[in-house]
Chains A and B, each alone.
Chain A
Amino acid sequence: MRGRIRFIGWFFTSLTGLSCLLIVVAVSIILGNIVHHGWDRLTWEFVSAEPRMGMTEGGIWPAIFGTIALVLLMTLAVVPLGVAAAVYLHEYAPQGSRLVHVVRLALQNLAGVPAIVFGLFGLGFFVQFAGGGIDRVFFSGSLVVGQPCILWASLTLAVLTLPTVVVATEEALRAVPRTYREAAYALGATKWQMIRRVVLPQSIGGILTGAILAVSRGAGEVAPILFTGAAYYLPYLPKRLNDQFMELGYHVYVLTTQAPDVEATKPILYSTVLVLLLVTFGLNFFAVLLRSRIRRRLRTT
């Protein structure tokens, strides 16, 4: 009887272990497959040249440039707003106030909104309402910003990545010991002076981590930019805020689903995916490294 119980125990334990194995295997297969097929084409020319011959030759530089420009703009928008919101939540909000609870609830739910709904929001609010409104008021109705462009796409992504930045910043703020704050007050600092001169400099690492994570997420999301400015092929690089742009993830999507000759574009496709993965993972890795270095330093002081 005991033998049978032990066997059942062993069986179920193995099943759970198998689940872990499955996950590890799945990730390895996906990454392995992409690296295997995409590695050959990954040359300097690939990342620096423009696409030719209907996306079967050349490089994907415009998509890389577009992605960089997109997340840069997004960062400019999301970091100040996210840091400010985190500072409010942690430093200014009265303990247990209803507003704090509502803000946190809003953040939590913001994080769960489907990406395509963000796309609809970007179209309905940014492109049509804000952009259309600006056109009517400042440009007497001509089409200047009331169209899909890199400005609105980056702002849409900024709203999407806001929770990431706020959470990371709050974690950093929480790690600043009370003794530093009290010392600053005792030396005659006002609340903002204390935050600016003591708390924020100490939190820079965590804020940076949050920003990097946001960038990594923003570089990978395609649904929000489908209708807010991404384009498949443009003969120019986005130079103005109301330009459209090429983007790595969007490129993968279109190339996968709409390219006429799948076999011919396959190599470029794989390499593009590899570039996207390298960017996303590289940033993630960097952020994790930064975060563990910060945590280690805090544990020793």
Chain B
Amino acid sequence: MPIIDILGFSVWYGGQRVLRDVTLDVRKGEILGIIGPAGAGKTSFLRSLNRLNDLVPGFRTEGAIKYHGVNLYRERIDVPTLRRRLGMVFATPAPLPASIYDNLVFGPRLMGRMKDLDTRIERCLRAAYLWDEVKDRLSLLAPSLSGGQQQRLCLARTLMLEPEALLLDEPCSGLDPISTAKVEEALTLLKAEVSVVLVTNNVMQSSRVADRTAFFLDGRMVECGPTRDLFVNPKEKMTLEYISGRFG
């Protein structure tokens, strides 16, 4: 059951075209992995889903992205609401310069949903595998945490928004293997409630956790299918070459 439908979607930054006619869908209850070499357009794609690319000067689109049937770029929508429904975690941990607690309640405060905060905080921190490490230090300044902890905090604070899907942009780059394993574990447990779109440079990561995987190259979506099928028996030659490490 698709939550997001991407139909023939293209993106330009000024005169430069970074996405070409991408057609894809994001379904409920799954982890969709997006792999591809640097510069393939993966991040541009992800940022287009929650309209974060609006911030980039010269940003232009063609085609459609439909979220529950609403064309995100042609109809007048409340963008902040969209960004809460499709919560994003960036590649470099981006904690706000405030306490862990303040980071977590930032979203709920904006929404005006301040009930049962402590319960929700515990739930989200546990889901992000961070609860045990920070449970009695919530007033600690977030930037003083380690990289892995910061990233898990970013995951937890996004979960506080109660999003429908998570948009993760290489969330484990720069993390140690243990933190990476924790994040992957968290995602696997979350996917039933919160679908995940996972952009990753690490092909192995996608093979580990993603239900379906899409391979991007030069702004095009080359191939998409169930992960096992894509890895074992890819339909396109480029896919095979990328997966087997011939380039990228």
Contact = CB atoms under 8 A, between A and B. Distances in A.
A202 B98 CA distance: 10
A182 interface: yes
Contact of A187 (B55, B57, B84, B143): B84
Nearest to A190: B80
10 contacts: A179-B92, A180-B94, A180-B96, A183-B154, A185-B55, A185-B83, A186-B52, A186-B89, A186-B158, A301-B97
| Chain A contact surface mostly | helix
Contacts of B94: 179-180, 182-183
Given A182-B90, A198-B96, A188 B57 contact: no
A61 B143 CA distance: 48
Nearest to A181: B55
A70 to B, nearest CB: 36
Interface stretch (B60-68, B105-113, B119-127, B188-196): B105-113
Interface of A: 95, 179-180, 182-190, 193, 197-198, 202, 301
Given A95-B57, A186-B87, 7 more contacts: A179-B92, A182-B94, A184-B96, A188-B83, A188-B107, A188-B111, A301-B143
Given A180-B97, A182-B55, A202-B97, A189 B110 contact: yes
A291 B241 CA distance: 54
B50 interface: yes
Given A95-B57, A182-B55, A301-B143, A188 B81 contact: yes
B65 to A, nearest CB: 17
Contacts of B224: none
A185 B90 CA distance: 12
Instruction: List the 5 shortest-distance A-B pairs measured between CB atoms, nearest first.
Output: A188-B84, A183-B94, A186-B88, A179-B94, A187-B107
Nearest to B163: A188
A193 B111 CA distance: 11
A140 to B, nearest CB: 49
Given A95-B57, A179-B90, A182-B55, A187 B110 contact: yes
Contacts of A301: 97, 143
A95 B97 CA distance: 27
A301 B80 CA distance: 29
Contacts of A187: 83-84, 87, 106-107, 110, 157-158, 161
Nearest to A188: B84
Interface in B89-105: 89-90, 92, 94-97
